[in-house]
A and B are shown apart, each in its own frame.
Chain A
Amino acid sequence: AQKITQTQPGMFVQEKEAVTLDCTYDTSDPSYGLFWYKQPSSGEMIFLIYQGSYDQQNATEGRYSLNFQKARKSANLVISASQLGDSAMYFCAMRGSQAGANNLFFGTGTRLTVIP
């Protein structure tokens, strides 16, 4: 079974600063993928970034990067140069090799607030 843990219920960051949102996972699957989603106050879920367990390099997508430490089973999201529009809930999710139908397991989320 997969388990995702996000230990930060809320985080604050000054505008233009970088922030790291933590995500640890637990799985016995040899291959898996990790996803991050953003949920603004409007409610929709927006895909941000993906990291595969066999990927040699940490994933990057614009201002988003993933600090993937496989031995520690962590996949922290780094947002650089924070903007006011980054204020939202952020969810880490995982798909394991035994997952049926592309199923994802989600963490409980971190609420990020960007301070002007």
Chain B
Amino acid sequence: NAGVTQTPKFRVLKTGQSMTLLCAQDMNHEYMYWYRQDPGMGLRLIHYSVGEGTTAKGEVPDGYNVSRLKKQNFLLGLESAAPSQTSVYFCASARDTAGLAGLSRETQYFGPGTRLLVL
């Protein structure tokens, strides 16, 4: 049981290049998320998915695209990387809150992170 895994762990890109970050979870979770973490700013939600074939925008979606073709995988794409996208990217997954929303005790389970440097 690996939990949430992310590929790659570290990547250097030149401005304008594209890349895809892969997140995989083996816990059969419905929900998956992509965050970015920047110094002094905590984690900010980029995109999320409530199930296979569905995605939605989070707080900072510009410059990113996502896909969830399989329940266990959530891909984050950068079509044309910019230095402002230098960050640490975290993927997370969670169970369905079964309608409890704010009262749900379900935590999110995080991957180890991907460090991305855009030159």
List A residues at the B interface (Cβ < 8 Å). Answer: 4, 9, 29, 31-33, 35, 42-45, 47, 50, 52-54, 91, 93, 95-104, 106-109
A-B contact pairs, 30 of them (CB 8 A): A29-B102, A31-B101, A32-B102, A33-B102, A33-B103, A33-B105, A44-B111, A44-B113, A45-B110, A50-B105, A50-B107, A53-B102, A53-B103, A93-B43, A95-B101, A95-B102, A95-B104, A96-B102, A98-B101, A98-B102, A100-B48, A101-B33, A101-B50, A101-B56, A102-B96, A102-B108, A103-B58, A104-B108, A106-B43, A109-B42
Q: Which residue of A lies closest to B113 (CB)?
A: A43
* Least Cβ–Cβ distance between A64 and chain B, in angstroms: 14
A91 touches B56 (CB 8 A): no
Query: Which residues, 12 to 56 on B, are CB-close (under 8 Å) to A?
Result: 31, 33, 40-45, 48-50, 56
Residues of B within 8 Å of A29, CB to CB, are 102
Is B102's CB under 8 angstroms from A44's CB? Answer: no
Sorting the interface of chain B by its residue count into under 10, 10 to 19, 20 to 34 or 35 or more gives 20 to 34
The distance in angstroms between the C-alpha atoms of A77 and B107, with both chains bound, is 17
Chain A residue numbers with a CB within 8 Å of B43 are 45, 91, 93, 104, 106
CA distance A4 to B43 in the complex (A): 11
Cβ distance A4 to chain B, nearest Cβ, rounded Å: 8
CB distance from B103 to the nearest CB of A (A): 5
Nearest B residue to A2, CB-CB: B102
Taking CB atoms, residues of chain B closer than 8 Å to A31 are 101-103
Of the listed residues A50, A100, A102, the one surrounded by the most CB atoms of chain B closer than 10 A to its CB is: A102
> A96 to B105, alpha carbons, bound, how many Å?
12
Min CB–CB distance A57 → chain B (angstroms)? 14
Residues of B within 8 A of A54 (CB): 103
